[in-house]
Amino acid sequence: MRLPETRDLFVRELDFPASSETVIKLIGEQKLEAPNGDDESIGDILERSGVEQFTHADELYDTLLTCVGDAFIGRKYYDDRSGISSNTDDDEIVHF
């Protein structure tokens, strides 16, 4: 399952408010496909979160997004705001 599909799963399968223990028991085995590495289960991610209660599906989804591992993150330390440089030599600075 892809990460963006989890919110619909939460709405379909869970009644809110729901405890983390209940979520893990009911859908914790569901694997999430990581684009850059090993897949992780919802249960493993939620156990790392430390959150004990979810009042609605959006809160659970936000927690999941916050606690996924590095395999779900794009290029680490990527900065698309290049052009800011500490160079003082004007010949080496590229302006667009």
Query: Of 45, 32, 42, 44, which Cα lies nearest the Cα of 3?
Result: 32
Specify if 24 maps to a domain. yes
Tokens of 59: 């809160």
Q: What are phi and psi of 7, to 5 degrees?
A: -60, -45
Query: Of 44, 31, 38, which Cα lies nearest the Cα of 3?
Result: 31
Q: What is the pLDDT of residue 34?
A: 83
Specify if 54 maps to a domain. yes
Specify if 86 maps to a domain. no
pLDDT in tens, 14-68: 999 999 999 999 999 999 988 877 889 999 999 989 899 999 999 999 999 888 8
Specify if 93 maps to a domain. no
pLDDT exceeds 90 at position 92: no
pTM, two decimals, is: 0.72
Structure confidence at residue 2 as a pLDDT band (50, 70, 90):
confident
State whether the Cα torsion 51-24-72-10 is positive or negative: negative
Specify if 10 maps to a domain. yes
| Structural domain boundaries enclosing 25 | 4-72
Number of structural domains found in the chain: 1
